[in-house]
Chains A and B, each alone.
Chain A
Amino acid sequence: MTEYHVINGRAPRLDAPAKATGRAMYVDDIKLPGMLYGALLQSPLAHANILNIDTSKARKLPGVKSVVTAEEAGMVKYGVSPARYDENVFVKDRVRYIGDEIAAVAAVDLETALEAVSLIDVEYEELPAVFTMEEAIAEGAPQIHEKYPRNIGAEVHQEFGNVEEAFAKCDVIRTDTFLNKRQDGAFLEPNGVVADYDHNGFLTLHSSTQVPHYVMRIIAMVLGIPIGKVRVKKPYVGGGFGPKAGTNSIELASTLLSMKTGKPVKMNFTREQVFLFSRARHQFKHTLTTGVKKDGTLMALTNECYLEGGAYTSFGIATVYYAGSLLGAPYRLPNMKYDGYRLYTNRPACGAQRGHGGVAARAAWEQQLDFICDELGMDPVEFRLKNSMEAGDITCNDFNTSSFGMKECIEAVRDGSKWSEKKGKMPEGKGIGIATGFFVSGAGYPIYRSETAHSTVVIKLSEDGGAAHVLTGSAEIGQGSDTAMAMIAAEALGVPLDSIRVSSGDTDYSVDLGAYSSRQTLMTGHATKSAAEDLKAQVLGVLSEKLKVPVDEMDIKNGFIVFKGETPDFGELRSIYAKEHRGFSDNPDWNEPLTFREAARIAYLTRGSMVGTGSYKPGELGGKFKGAAVGTSPAYGPSAQVVEVTVDKGTGKITIDRMTDAHDCGFAINRTSVEAQMQGSLSMGVGEAMYEEVKFDDKGKVINANLGEYKIATALDMPNVDTIIVESNEPNGPFGAKEVGEGAIMPTIPAILNALYDATGVRIQELPLTPERVFKAIQEKESKEK
């Protein structure tokens, strides 16, 4: 065990009892007096001009309180990245995908609102549409946004080192192409909101979001509400995984309807609307050329990537950069060239999803590296250990790794899986594969250009000294951040965990950029730790005056004041406390050491309410080139995985027998939550590798917009995972901690692909690995061999 009392152990989550008893409030559980229900009118066509919108019949329907269109919403553009604001609350003259928002209605109940929506007449003039990358980029293709010919909404061209020169020195050079499929976030809670615009012009927006801070800014900007009057509150959120990390159409529509009616307005996406809104993983087509020397030294990589992005940009600027910048590492690769193109299509907009931008790239490359190992006759584990970066290494694209337990992770899964006993010795139809990956531990820069802190935290002591209340704008979306912050605060303040209460997810509490890019443990954690330290120093400062003991001669541990030298006589302080608590049954015993409770009460009596504040902003980060902001981070979390599979050659069905996973989280604040993030990451990776694909008909309509036909991993699909926590003590992390939520998904898909190759010798470079695709590949291989 460590020197710590709270962190690095296994704490039950603070929110677990509420969630286990049905008491936890999610957005759809909120009911406010006089609340109206809203519904959206969305485009039934993928690409069309709007000639006319007639809302008159809808407005006349009894029970309808407001109907709004672009006329009422205005035409202020928004999105995620200010470099590409390309959305409006409602479209005015052109719809660009099936689901594009045209109007919204607020009515006394949902039934009436939906009926009113059906009464809105829209006259369309259908336009030719593009649905695939090939269609979108073709010469003369119908253009979705005026400024972007051939529908190239964003492109990136980068070269680090000199790829040409390096290839000239290589012994093996291989080119492969890889294709994944569009994913859906498939979080269990559909997005929902309750907007409450009051008569003093203050908005409280309850939303199922990962990013209250960014939503607050966009709402204020688009609807022209003074930003100080916009409060975004996140109740418990039923999962996000990235697609809830931007402002959505119902946040804006419900706010506008609440402003128009003076009543709270509730709106929810149906499950189908979740698929239409999307903002989930893009489809990526990577063409990778990798060069190595005979001894396995990695020399150069060129990466060309096309992204099918949908009708709007959302997170896409960051995505197209990440699809390049997240390769290279975790290996010592000196030369890398990247050309990325994000294409608009007439489909729902893609955005960020767990492992943002890097998951398909990782799958493509880690699979290719195994092919290269085959050509070299080199063991994939040995190859990876040989090329792996170590702490202190800086990548060719300027990622500075201050801690990096990559080798430790590889060794851990090698040993944990008994790789050496299994590789090459598995029975017919069984295979074993390894892969690695990593992710940023928080984006180094805010999404909008700003000098803002990335996180501030306020901790207020109860005036009676019995509890500390952590106030943060950070977003608990299921990952366990509230508990992590409570543990950090308890440890840094020196009190037991049960003395800490956390209120989070509210823009009124503090600035926090939210739950995305695996940032909160490191960034909010830092701010929490410094707020607790500030508070502790204040309490000890008062004690120092009262007891005439220097501050540095005292500490607070586990709820008691610790005197490093001789214990002074604190009898007078104890008497004061006791006198004020006559009749209380929980007063400290006379022979007990001085408690934090007493010290905090004395501090309050001396100085008034005790509040500690903390703030975090990353220090100077590397990279001065264009796009360097996407991928630079205070820390990086590496991961390695070994997967064992059985492949039924007669049906093409893959069974995942065993997964061994090691992740370097720097330092585990809550070991249970670290394991939980690893296991969850793997299940999302298994889903993408094996089943998940958003499918469309030839008119651009999603044909599997439900969780029956869009298949995610069930309890029968997931094996138990052997989770190994590696701790490298990150210098830039609070108590040495860094991310785990996204790095852990990186190796999953390629480890499965590599295990499949080991089992069957077939190379499948397109996801998902449906039995049909696997069976065909096996048949093709066998017929070639005949």
Chain B
Amino acid sequence: MKKLICLTINGKEYELAVAPNMTLADLLREELLLTGTKKGCELGDCGTCTVIMNGKAVNSCLVLAVQASGKEITTVEGLETEDGLHPLQEKFIENGAIQCGFCTSGMLLSGKALLDKTPKPDELEIRTAISGNLCRCTGYQKIVESIKDASEMDPR
């Protein structure tokens, strides 16, 4: 039996009927084709499915779609605005913080959740904020630098 939910994703309101066992990650990917949210483990270990829900970075594989009802969600597709790319996106691209790209969406959103609360984080705060987002390619250095650089840009 499907449940009716209402939620806001990237500023757009949705009214959807979802299976009670559907995860937010699957809702985004399978129903709404927002495939920028990745699934690397479906156990909440890897952080590739990170989205921002009501200001907090969460593993969308551990959130049921029904739990997201009434919430405000930001996915990687919501970072770019009419003014262009988000400073985090710009810096990730410029600094070579992206290799295979599978962790990138989650990294960007954990980075954004951090900067929204702590606009000028130090390195340890950055590393702590992305410590739930695994990356096997980069050794994290260029990601950390990019978040730092973005924090030093004028906010959009």
Contact = CB atoms under 8 A, between A and B. Distances in A.
Specify which of A20, A21, A479, A675 lies most central, judged by the most chain B CB atoms within 10 Å of its CB. A20
B142 A676 contact: yes
A404 to B, nearest CB: 25
A672 interface: yes
A188 B103 contact: yes
B101 interface: yes
B40 A707 contact: yes
B100 A22 contact: no
Contact of A271 (B40, B77, B92, B101): B40
Contact of B128 (A24, A676, A716): A716
B112 interface: no
Nearest to A480: B99
Interface stretch (A234-242, A459-467, A497-505): A234-242
Contacts of B75: 22
A23 interface: yes
A680 B102 contact: no
A12 interface: yes
A680 B144 CA distance: 14
27 contacts: A10-B96, A12-B93, A12-B94, A16-B96, A17-B93, A20-B93, A22-B75, A22-B77, A23-B36, A28-B29, A188-B46, A189-B100, A236-B101, A238-B40, A238-B102, A271-B43, A271-B46, A672-B95, A672-B96, A679-B142, A680-B136, A680-B138, A681-B139, A683-B139, A706-B43, A715-B130, A718-B141
Contact of A707 (B35, B134, B137, B141): B134
A505 B92 CA distance: 24
Given A188-B38, A478-B102, A715-B127, 19 more contacts: A16-B101, A20-B92, A21-B85, A22-B76, A26-B38, A31-B33, A187-B136, A189-B100, A238-B40, A238-B101, A239-B100, A239-B102, A270-B42, A271-B42, A682-B139, A683-B138, A712-B136, A715-B131, A718-B139
Contact of A673 (B42, B44, B96, B139): B96
Given A23-B36, A715-B131, A477 B100 contact: yes
Contact of A16 (B98, B133, B143): B98
A675 B96 contact: yes
Interface in B13-52: 29, 33-46, 48
A721 B126 CA distance: 17
A479 B29 CA distance: 26
Contacts of B99: 239, 478-480, 676, 680
A683 B144 CA distance: 14
Contacts of B101: 15-16, 18-20, 24, 236, 238, 478
A785 interface: no
A21 B77 contact: yes
A15 B92 CA distance: 12
B82 to A, nearest CB: 14
A118 interface: no
Contacts of B144: 715, 720
Nearest to A25: B35
A680 B45 contact: no
Nearest to B124: A716
Nearest to B100: A478
A13 interface: yes
Contact of B41 (A28, A239, A707): A707
Contacts of A237: 100
Interface string A707-728: 1100011111010110000000
Interface string A678-720: 0111111000000000000000000000111000111110101
A192 to B, nearest CB: 10
A679 B141 contact: yes
Nearest to A16: B93
B104 interface: yes
Interface in A90-133: none
Interface in A646-683: 672-673, 675-676, 679-683
A-B complex: 9 closest residue pairs judged by Cβ atoms: A22-B36, A478-B100, A238-B102, A19-B101, A679-B139, A683-B139, A672-B96, A22-B76, A707-B45
A589 interface: no
Interface residues of B, number: 55
Contacts of B43: 271, 706-708
Contacts of B126: 715
Interface residues of A, number: 56
Contacts of A679: 138-142
Contacts of B79: 21
B80 interface: yes
A714 B131 contact: yes
B66 interface: no
A241 B100 CA distance: 11
A186 interface: yes
B46 to A, nearest CB: 5
Interface string B76-115: 1101100001000100111110111111110010000000
B135 interface: yes
Most chain A Cβ neighbours within 10 Å, of B95, B127, B134, B144? B134
B131 A26 contact: no
Contacts of B143: 715
A29 interface: yes
Nearest to B90: A20
A328 interface: no
A190 interface: yes
Nearest to B88: A20
A20 B96 contact: no
Contact of B98 (A13, A186, A189): A13
Given A187-B136, A239-B137, A683-B138, A676 B96 contact: yes
Given A22-B36, A679-B141, A679-B142, A188 B42 contact: no
A18 B135 CA distance: 18
B89 A20 contact: yes
A26 B102 contact: yes
Nearest to A354: B136
Contacts of B131: 714-716
B40 A189 contact: yes
Contact of A239 (B76, B89, B108, B136): B136
Contacts of A478: 99-102, 137
A186 B96 contact: no
B96 A12 contact: yes
A276 to B, nearest CB: 14
Contacts of B100: 187-189, 236-239, 477-478
Nearest to A477: B100
A237 B29 CA distance: 17
B34 A188 contact: no
Nearest to A241: B136
B136 A22 contact: no
Task: Find the residue from A15, A19, A680, A681 having the highest chain B CB count within 10 A.
Answer: A19
B69 to A, nearest CB: 23
Contacts of B40: 188-190, 238, 271, 707
A706 B98 contact: no
Contact of B135 (A13, A188, A190, A682): A188
Interface in A234-277: 236-239, 241, 270-271
B96 A13 contact: yes
B106 to A, nearest CB: 9
A718 B38 contact: no
Contacts of B48: 188-189
Interface in B114-156: 126-128, 130-144
Contact of A28 (B39, B98, B133): B39
A37 to B, nearest CB: 11
